[in-house]
Amino acid sequence: MRGLSCRMNVAAVLNGLLVSILAAVLWKYVKLREHAFSVEEELLLSQQSQELSQVRIDYHGALQSLQEEGTRMVCTGKMHTDRICRFDYLCYSTEAEEFVFFHSNDSVMVPNLGSRRFQPALLDLSSVEDHNTQYFNFQELPAPALKFMPKPVFVPDVTLILNRFNPDNLMHVFHDDLLPIFYTMKQYPDLDQEARLVFMEGWNEGLHFDLYRLLSNKQPLLKDQLKNFGKLLCFTRSYVGLSKITTWYQYGFVQPQGPKANILVSGMEIRKFTQFLMDKLNVSLEENSIGEEYIVVFSRTINRLILNEAELILALAQEFQMKTVTVSLDDHSFADVVQIISKASMLISMHGAQLISSIFLPRGAVVVELFPYAVNPDHYTPYKTLASLPGMDLQYVAWQNTIEENSVAFPDRPWDQGGIGHLEKEEQIRIMKSEEVPRHLCCRNPEWLYRIYQDTKVDIPSLIETIRQSIKTKPSVKKVKMASVVHPGKVREAKCQASVHGTNEAKLTVSWQIPWNLKYLKVREVKYEVWIQEQGENTYMPYILPHQNYTFSENIKPFATYLVWIRCIFNKHLLGPFADVLVCRT
Ligand code: UDP
């Protein structure tokens, strides 16, 4: 038994040895093949990257970096709603339609949220806040898993990855996409004119793709096009997400629509952006060829029509003694629209996305927004909010049709064009009888759609009267200068001196020096605001003063302690900070 087993063992060992040698030889052969193959493949893949961006890359070096260092991510923002992330080597699987973070010993993930990354997401991919169709996240893999995956194609451009929100609607294009992209690019200097935009929302180019093209010299890529470049794309450097700093309106997803709670943009930034676009569109700001002031009626040709447009144009021309022209998105190129609007004294249009073009109006111009019957202008204010931003320097006027007979509704159209045929008869009757659309959430409220897609015969005397009452002067853009935006600094060397007269009377003399920056400025009007509060009291007495000292005697008691705050004000509305509080004892 022993001998047999020994012989068998020798045979087994020999067998095993043979198999091992064979395996080793095979292995070597496969490795060699693999090497030859991968050199060829690398060449092909780097050619693909080059095709993608005309930038030569060191494919081997890039692959090695990805394998050894993995993905690196550093983000700004405390919440998913204010976060933008910068990545080295963020990858995207076009088969899985998932972004991939590769972990290695050197990868970086800041913030490291653990599974809070899914509550609800790492960040918003569009500028619309916390919209659950716009979330961004990635899947994770260890870097060695790359061995089993399709060879990556590297995208060597610095890339901004984002979702457009509604690329067929001009208001959404500007407010949600173009302005946020422009200022996100300003935030990160390597997102320059050679940066690549990648739109992940999954739409086709959309109606206004040419406008997106103006933002960088490289053709933006759509989600659908990514798979043409390979199965695994790795962005050498990318930024993901959009700045929301410039948005001023919320569309009513969680509460009825209205201005954002904390608007952080002024006309200065909007106008800087429009200047950039106008340069790109070759629109010059020189004196217009007509040389005179004129009014623009922005018309819609498909729906929400002005039924008496010709009559309206005549009346406006006569009333304001100005040439009056019409433009529409259907009959003019966008560059032509901008050229015309950028020199207009007044823009008149039905409520609708075309009114975003008022960002191109010159300072001092008037915007007149027309609302159909039963649509309350106070409830829909994206263009009013825009025109009223400090530094836009536009005068805004809203007019509403209040005469039902001047309105034409379309109950038989499809629901998204205001049709109500799909509703219960009773509900249809209620809607048709209603005199005002109650406040509602976005986006499919049938009563809202029914009313907003009405055509309107504008009652001209009532419109002219509304415009006359709301605008201070004859519309004119000739002399309107940019208002100053320089705020005062703190007043300096504030002092107080008290004097007591008898047992009931006291005086408090307060003096201070001008703010440091004032000596370098020419300011039309400089005033000071002083608040005096008796210690322990809830109320204070405010004063506006023209000089740098004042003696207060009203309501000043002897043997009391007063807190005194002082700040400087330029031109009535530019408030400076309060200086450190003065504690004054009488
Ligand atoms: N639009 C247009 N002419 C029309 C109707 C619509 O140019 O007669 C444009 C409009 O400016 C917007 C897009 O088509 O960019 C979608 O219009 P919709 O009525 O859906 O949106 P709204 O204008 O109410 O935002």
CA 68 to chain centre: 37
In one-letter notation, the amino acid at residue 16 is: G
Q: Is the four-CA dihedral 390, 391, 397, 400 of positive or negative sign?
A: negative
Residue 1's pLDDT is 39
Choosing from 166, 171, 354, 451 the residue with most ligand 1 atoms within 8 A of its CB, the one to mutate for a pocket test is 354
Q: What is the residue with the minimal CA distance to atom 25 of ligand 1? A: 353
Residue 22 burial (10 A CB sphere; 0-12, 13-18, 19+): exposed
Domain coordinates in residue numbering, the chain: 59-247, 258-409+454-470, 492-585
Residues 298 and 354: their CA atoms lie apart, in Å, by: 7
Residue 203's pLDDT is 98
From 6-15, 69-78, 127-136, 196-205, the region with the lowest mean pLDDT: 6-15
Per-residue pLDDT averaged across 215-227, rounded? 97
Residues 40 and 118: their CA atoms lie apart, in Å, by: 40
| 553-564 confidence digits (pLDDT tens) | 999 999 999 999
Distance 455 CA to ligand 1 centre (A): 13
pTM for the whole structure: 0.90
Q: Is the four-CA dihedral 52, 57, 60, 66 of positive or negative sign?
A: negative
Assign 457 to helix, strand or coil.
Answer: coil
What architecture does CATH give domain 258-409+454-470? 3-Layer(aba) Sandwich (3.40)
Cis check: omega of the bond before 220, within 30 degrees of 0: no
pLDDT band at residue 9 using 50, 70 and 90 as cut-offs: low
Residue 44's pLDDT is 81
Q: What ranges in 230-379 are assigned the alpha helix state H?
A: 267-280, 309-320, 334-341
Same fold, 258-409+454-470 and 492-585: no
pLDDT surpassing 50 at residue 354: yes
The bridge status of strand 108-110 relative to strand 72-76 is parallel
Q: Is the CB of residue 394 below 6 angstroms from any atom belonging to ligand 1?
A: no
What topology is assigned to 492-585 in CATH?
Answer: Immunoglobulin-like (2.60.40)
Task: For 245, list phi and psi in degrees, rounded to 5.
Answer: -55, -35
Per-residue pLDDT averaged across 97-103, rounded? 98
pLDDT band at residue 484 using 50, 70 and 90 as cut-offs: confident
Give buried/exposed letters for 200-236 (b at 16+ CB in 10 A, else e): bbebeebebbebbeebbebebbbbeebeebbbbbbbb
Choosing from 176, 203, 300 the residue with most ligand 1 atoms within 8 A of its CB, the one to mutate for a pocket test is 300
Q: What is the residue with the minimal CA distance to atom 20 of ligand 1? A: 169
Tokens of residue 265, six digits: 């943009």
From 44-53, 133-142, 352-361, 573-582, the region with the lowest mean pLDDT: 44-53
pLDDT surpassing 50 at residue 313: yes
Residue 5's pLDDT is 46
Query: Across the chain, how many H-helices and E-strands are there?
Result: 13, 28
CA 291 to chain centre: 35
Distance 22 CA to ligand 1 centre (A): 72
Tokens of residue 120, six digits: 């609800």
Choosing from 170, 175, 203 the residue with most ligand 1 atoms within 8 A of its CB, the one to mutate for a pocket test is 170
pLDDT surpassing 50 at residue 165: yes
| 494-521 confidence digits (pLDDT tens) | 999 999 988 889 999 999 999 999 999 9
Tokens of residue 534, six digits: 């008796």
In one-letter notation, the amino acid at residue 349 is: S
pLDDT band at residue 413 using 50, 70 and 90 as cut-offs: very high
